Amino acid sequence: GAVVSQHPSRVICKSGTSVKIECRSLDFQATTMFWYRQFPKQSLMLMATSNEGSKATYEQGVEKDKFLINHASLTLSTLTVTSAHPEDSSFYICSARTIGLAGKQFFGPGTRLTVL
Amino acid sequence: QQQVKQSPQSLIVQKGGISIINCAYENTAFDYFPWYQQFPGKGPALLIAIRPDVSEKKEGRFTISFNKSAKQFSLHIMDSQPGDSATYFCAAKQTGTASKLTFGTGTRLQVTL
């Protein structure tokens, strides 16, 4: 299967700071990438869908000014949590999909964000 | 109509037994049904997937059974092993570049010795 990486794997930051999470598709080009948030013992909640070269589409209730998404290339998408607060602490997972692997989504290993 | 209902919430199976997880959907436009396996602190990994043109798909110890008329699909894990202990998510989506996966609520499987 295709490989998706995320960096960092875990990050601890102070309240009010911004944190950037990178998502890379290592061996395929991803025209579409997805960002999810997962709370303990819960399912994945889709935050936004990003397509290379265009603005991300955010799900209802997700603040686009707080969760900035950039999909600058076919292998890289970034999620920036701006002015992070303790309630933003969560497990953030990216996913990538390409037309060449029709219908299949591959997930990154996740990033554990802890805001103090 | 976008929901995917998954049961049970948790499951304990003895080593060597069969683990069965069920999912039901409402949206008849869904045409792709994957199952994901997630270990604690890790991202989900695609396990097996099926399209509605077949009623069953088997890959090793993992089998998906699909019932189009009932709008249900299930994951069977044969000869369950302690290493299979994880959370399993079913999902569904319809073909299309704008489509998104709709996930079930997850099933925590524990395989005991």
Model confidence pLDDT, tens digit, residues B2-38: 689 999 999 999 999 999 999 999 999 999 999 999 9
| Chain B nearest CA to A65, separation (Å) | 22
Among A43, A106, A109, beta carbon nearest to B106:
A43
DSSP string, B29-66: T--BEEEEEE-TTS--EEEEEE-TT-SEEEETTEEEEE
Q: What is the pLDDT of residues B15-24, one digit of tens each?
A: 999 999 999 9
> B41, A46: Cβ pair inside 8 Å?
no
pLDDT at B17: 98
Among A1, A44, A91, beta carbon nearest to B103:
A44
As a whole number, the mean pLDDT across chain A is: 91
As a whole number of angstroms, the distance between CA B44 and CA B27 comes to 23
CA-to-CA separations, A4 to A7, A44, A105, B48, B62, in angstroms, rounded: 10, 17, 10, 18, 23
Of the pLDDT bands very low, low, confident and very high (cuts 50, 70, 90), residue A98 is confident
